[in-house]
Amino acid sequence: MIARVLTCRGTPTPPPNVHPPPRCMVYSGMVASIGAFCVFGMLQFRDSLLLRPHPALWRVVLSVGVVYQLFLVFLLFQNKHDARLLFKFIDPSLGVPLPEKSYGDACELTRVNMMDQVWDVFVLAHALGWFCKAIILRDYTFCWILSIMFEVMEYSLTHQLNNFNECWWDHWILDVLICNWLGLYLGVKTCEYFEMKQYSWQGLAEIPTLKGKMKRTMQQFTPRSWTKFKWDSTKSFKSYCTVIFILTMFLICELNAFYLKSILWLPSAHPINIARIFAYFMFGIPGVREAYQYLHDANCKRIGPQAWLLIGSIATEVLIVFKFGQGEFPNPAPASVIYFWATFLTLLTVYPIYQFYWIPKQRESNVKRKLPVD
């Protein structure tokens, strides 16, 4: 199998006296190397918590995650100019500055302005993206908090990224109340369907009819069982910190996409961006599942490899943004943004002290006062 991957080429075999272009040879070598590593990972990496459609799929996902992390580390040690040239080598149409686009130029609440935004292709992408987030997080409240916080992040970073400059109704009506809600609603309903479904697995040999065999084959691509996530962020300090950390990782992952596009000159609809989004969806499914298992299973003593790799990839992207972003965003943050985040972070710190230290201590004191004295 490995030999077949190594000899596979994406272009027809040239005549004996004609040498293929160096770019094609590099492409073939890169694809073959990645394919060989993924085959090795599929055969040798340990299984994740997910079993459907087959454990080998999630071992391949882990392999792709390792390849992506290694690529990010390589990119981190380049300079900004060479990083852009690298993407231009991958696709000659890249390597040119992106035209600035603002969504906040016509903010009158008119039918024409709203229809211009509604028919934007990214509206569907919004809904689909939040459907995927709901499948990953499996919690309606968590997803709503994430949805609102991302709009707050857009408001806070308008001074750096011009495409965050949207109309108020674009933020709160079109994004939050329509696109995000639609994706979250469908995603949560899908989770509820899998949660209530009766799971009864039979081998193909035990099913007598062809129709039954085909149905069982299709069921292989559905979960073997379904775990409902109850994050319980107010139950314990560990749960609170875990939820805040996962929320922060999701927000940073979303923001990384916009900053990397701006710094490396990658158009939004380019296949590289689409591939990154799809990859993080595949990384997030087992990664968040492993994080949830670590949080709620007393027998689980460490976070799984998919979760660690997901954290590492997001953190490495942040380092790339900070390194290549030097001088790219000269405008300082408005005072209102600084005051808001100072207040918000203060409340975020004070709440667990009140919830997990002060309240239990008060309860303990009340119990001691009610005890009879000998």
The residues spanned by each domain of the chain are 108-196, 200-228, 338-374
What band does 322 get if pLDDT is binned at 50, 70 and 90? Answer: very high
Q: How many CB atoms lie within 10 A of CB 369?
A: 8
CA-to-CA distance for 302 and 324, rounded, in angstroms? 33
Average pLDDT over all residues of the chain: 84
Query: What's the average model confidence in pLDDT over 200-220?
Result: 60
Q: Which of 138-142, 184-188, 201-205 has the lowest mean pLDDT?
A: 201-205
Q: How far is CA 188 from CA 126, 199, 268, 285, in A?
A: 16, 19, 27, 15
Task: Count how many Cα atoms sit within 13 Å of the Cα of residue 235 in the half-sphere of its side chain.
Answer: 9
What band does 289 get if pLDDT is binned at 50, 70 and 90? Answer: very high
Share of the chain above pLDDT 90, in %: 49
* Torsion angle defined by CA atoms of residues 3, 67, 91 and 93, in that order, rounded to the nearest 10 degrees: 160
pLDDT of residue 191: 87
Picking from 171, 222, 181, the residue whose alpha carbon sits closest to that of residue 201 is: 222
Which tokens sit at 98? 């992106």
Output 344 or 191, whichever has higher pLDDT.
344
At 166, is the secondary structure helix, strand, or coil? strand
* Residues facing 166 on adjacent strands: 103
Output 160 or 220, whichever has higher pLDDT.
160
pLDDT of residue 17: 63
pLDDT of residue 297: 85
Which tokens sit at 365? 């004191």
Picking from 70, 13, 74, the residue whose alpha carbon sits closest to that of residue 41 is: 70
Picking from 86, 157, 35, 129, the residue whose alpha carbon sits closest to that of residue 320 is: 86
pLDDT of residue 361: 82
Peptide bond before 21: cis, by omega within 30 degrees of 0? no
Greatest Cα pair distance in the chain: 103
Output 306 or 107, whichever has higher pLDDT.
306
Output 338 or 49, whichever has higher pLDDT.
338
Q: Dump pLDDT digits (tens) for 82-111.
A: 999 999 988 989 989 888 776 666 677 777
Output 48 or 338, whichever has higher pLDDT.
338
103: phi then psi, degrees, rounded to nearest 5: -100, 5
Q: How far is CA 157 from CA 161, 246, 259, 337, 363, in A?
A: 6, 21, 11, 9, 42
What band does 7 get if pLDDT is binned at 50, 70 and 90? Answer: very low
At 13, is the secondary structure helix, strand, or coil? coil
At 112, is the secondary structure helix, strand, or coil? helix
pTM, entire model:
0.85
At 205, is the secondary structure helix, strand, or coil? helix
What band does 10 get if pLDDT is binned at 50, 70 and 90? Answer: very low
pLDDT of residue 323: 96
Sort residue 138 into left (φ over 0), alpha (ψ -120 to 50) or beta. Answer: left
